[in-house]
Amino acid sequence: MRIEKWVALGVVIIIGLVVLSSALYIVDETQQVVITEFGQPVGKPITRAGLYIKKPFIQKVNYFEKRLLTWDGSPTQIPTGDKKYIWVDTTARWKIVDPLKFLQSVGNERGAHARLDDIIDSATRDRITAYSLYEIVRNSNREFVSTEIFIQKEEEIREVKKGREHISREILKEAAKIVPQYGIELVDVRIKRLNYVEAVREKVYTRMISERKRVAEQYRSEGEGKKAEIEGMREKELQRITSEAYRKAQIIKGEADAEATKIYAQAYSKDPDFYSFLKTLETYEKTLTEKDTLILTTDSEIYRYLKGALPGKKKSE
């Protein structure tokens, strides 16, 4: 008898627990809940965390995330407005703002993802094809700071009218228009990655290489130019220095010559005849050597006594 009592009590407790566990449910901070009764939603969605009670068994708790959720698209190949093929990888953040609508229209997150794939992809495609590549890559008209003197301010100086963030916002706006019907709010869409498709990338590399080669050439030729310039300067300086020295030397010498001439003239002009006499003697002394033959007549001063030592038979003087 005692045993049966215990068993009965046990059964009652177990049933009670089962009922209780089916009637009570916990909503976490991260969750929101829609109660359905045989598939029909009952009451308002519960978005506040806590312990709640429902009709056991006949009511079902449908949990949904309350937090910000991730949507990560797979990279898609899209041609830009200027016909350049690029991989675009977007990522988005969304949340379930109307769990009831969400439940009714897409059911669960996987369903939502499928819709978001379509919506965001097409919005992305739509916006990317509308813009040139540089509009998508760049974000503003910020001027490049360059260390290379030779990087040309090439044709890429095109004005950026929108820029990447703006285009991202356009994608968001376009996609966000469609999603409220699914009880979703699209919070943000961003371009995560952007890459050239393989074939284009090769071409870009080739272009980069040729550009670098050009820059390298320019450096070298600038070096050579500078070198030539310095060499020229050296030559000029050299000529200037030597010629200037020559000029100065000539002036100095000339002045000295003039001075000397003046001195001589002053002195010799006192008696030019005597001077020429002296100078002539000096010249004899200097110029006559043993190769020379000297012919003197007996009239000359030194030999006139050869004919006769007697004076008086003078011819000249």
Partner 1 sequence: MEEDLDFKVNPPWPPSRKWYGLVILGIVVLVILFSTFYAVGPEEVGVIKRFGRYVRMTDPGLHVKIPFAETVTRVKVKRIFKEEFGFRTLRPGVKTLYAPEKWEDESLILTGDLNVAVVEWIVQYKIVDPYNYLFKVRDVQKTIRDMAESAVRLVVGDRSVDEVLTVGRMEVATEAQKKLQEILDFYQTGIKIVTLKLKDVNPPDPVKPSFNEVNEARQDRERFINEAWRAYNKVIPKAKGEAEKIIAEAEGYAINRVNRAKGEAERFLALWSEYKKAPEVTRRRLYLETLAKVLPQVGKVYVVDSEQKTILPLLSLEGEK
> 43 to 62, contacts with partner 1 by CB under 8 A?
48-51
Look at the block and give the residue holding tokens 């953040």.
93
Strands 50-53 and 40-46, how do they pair? unpaired
Question: Encoding tokens for residue 165?
Answer: 């963030």
Strands 31-37 and 59-65, how do they pair? antiparallel
In this chain, which of 44, 55, 67, 173 binds partner 1, going by CB under 8 A? 67
14 in contact with partner 1 (CB under 8 A): no
Q: For 83, list phi and psi in degrees, rounded to 5.
A: 60, 35
Task: Name residues contacting partner 1, limited to 103-162 (CB under 8 A).
Answer: 133-134, 137-140, 142, 144-148, 151, 154, 156
In this chain, which of 5, 83, 270, 314 binds partner 1, going by CB under 8 A? 270
244 in contact with partner 1 (CB under 8 A): yes
- Quick one: which segment of 15-23, 36-44, 54-62, 269-277 binds partner 1 (CB under 8 A)? 269-277
305 in contact with partner 1 (CB under 8 A): no
What is the chain's alpha carbon radius of gyration, rounded to the nearest angstrom? 57
Q: What angle do CA 114, 119, 77 make, to 5 degrees?
A: 95
Q: Minimal distance in Å, beta carbon 177 to partner 1?
A: 20
| Closest-CA residue to 45 (of 35, 55, 57) | 35
3 in contact with partner 1 (CB under 8 A): no
| 81 Cβ contact list (under 8 Å, min separation 6) | 128, 129, 130, 131, 132, 133, 135
Q: Minimal distance in Å, beta carbon 38 to partner 1?
A: 26
SS3 76: strand
Task: Name residues contacting partner 1, limited to 274-293 (CB under 8 A).
Answer: 274-275, 277-278, 281-282, 284-285, 288-293
- C-alpha distances (whole Å) from 120 to each of 31, 71, 110, 279, 289 are 25, 10, 15, 119, 120
Smaller CB distance to partner 1: residue 58 or 288? 288
Give the contact letters, 197-236, x = binds to partner 1 (CB under 8 A), - = no. Answer: ----x--xx-xxx--xx-xxxxxx-xxx-xxxxxx-xx--
In this chain, which of 68, 77, 117, 181 binds partner 1, going by CB under 8 A? 68
295 in contact with partner 1 (CB under 8 A): yes
Contact 60, 36 (CB under 8 A): yes
Task: Name residues contacting partner 1, limited to 166-195 (CB under 8 A).
Answer: 187-188, 190-195
| Closest-CA residue to 178 (of 233, 223, 245, 123) | 123
Q: CB 73: neighbour CB atoms within 10 A?
A: 18
Q: How far apart are CA 117 and CA 92, in angstroms?
A: 10
Smaller CB distance to partner 1: residue 40 or 317? 317
Smaller CB distance to partner 1: residue 58 or 216? 216
- Quick one: which segment of 67-75, 111-119, 122-130, 175-183 binds partner 1 (CB under 8 A)? 67-75
Smaller CB distance to partner 1: residue 44 or 193? 193
Smaller CB distance to partner 1: residue 40 or 270? 270
Sign of CA dihedral 105, 110, 114, 117: positive
